[in-house]
Amino acid sequence: MWATSRLSSTDGMDGRDLQSAINEVNAVIPGYTHDCESLMRLVTAVLSHWLTSDHKRAVLAQCNVAIEHYRGILVLVRQKLGLPAEGLARNLFELAITTIYLAKHEELLDDFTDYGTKIHYDVLSATLPKLLAQNKSLVYELQLRKREHQQLDVHFGAKSWHRRRIREIAEETGFAPLYKTFYKAASSIAHGDSFILIRRRHLRLWTLEINPEQWDAYIEVAARFSYLMMANLFEQVNVSLQLGHDQEMIALQAYIKTHPEYEIPVELQ
């Protein structure tokens, strides 16, 4: 391990900002606030922990990052901006499944931390010298850590900290059906592909067209999809870290069973 810093606390959110965003969405998707009641109880319980384990604190810190992404999606939903909300939901998907993967693999904590250090040095080394020169401490740091940066480059190569493809992590964490459906569409939107422009005219002919009314469907899709990701993230983190919030988790699972729009679909064989 090269990185020397560690999280001193989770500095967890108290959920009030997230709850406000949820309440705002209710004006666009009636009943959404009620849907989130069980989810918020589990989120609040999980983030209430003070943990001494570096691994557990890192996982809960990532859960806080997920909350920030989720809150951003809800703000976009409230503004009826379905396409950017769906694009951000794609980021939440990757964040959620890799956080679950980290929760299940404590032995990868050093790689998780060190990879962040590598990105820091990558950005510094690619910064224009005249801009970097405005902060002498950064210039000194880059010079001092040059060998460390080179070691990190060799250690990780072109791979991320988990050294897995997103598809593989999705399969291991139970999200394979979503990877092939919701994530596929959300990625196309995030990448600016033609997916949101194409429309079938008849069996063999596709055309391109701007159809904002069709795009509006992603307002609700993004809200439902991100809810599903957050629910499964906090359920699996609760189990993997053995946090003991089974009552809140079971209540959330029971609610989702009566609301299939929040269930991970069964993969067709």
Q: Give CA–CA dist 147/124, Å, rounded.
A: 14
- The predicted pLDDT at position 4 comes to 46
Query: Is 2 inside a domain boundary?
Result: no
168 belongs to a structural domain: yes
Q: Is residue 88 part of a domain?
A: yes
At 138-180, the pLDDT tens digits run 777 777 777 888 888 899 988 999 999 999 999 999 999 899 8
Q: In the chain, which residues have pLDDT < 70?
A: 1-16, 128, 130-132, 265-269
Question: Could you tell me how far CA 253 lies from the centroid of its own chain?
Answer: 20
Mean pLDDT of the chain: 87
> Looking at the domain assignment, is residue 112 inside a domain?
no
Cβ atoms 124, 136 nearer than 8 A? no
Query: Could you tell me the residue range of the domain that residue 203 belongs to?
Result: 16-105+162-262
Instruction: Tokens for 156, please give them.
Output: 């990780």
Does residue 9 lie within any of the structural domains? no
The number of distinct structural domains making up the chain is: 1
Q: What is the pLDDT of residue 131?
A: 67
Q: Does residue 132 fall inside a structural domain? A: no
- Note the pTM of the prediction, 2 decimals: 0.87
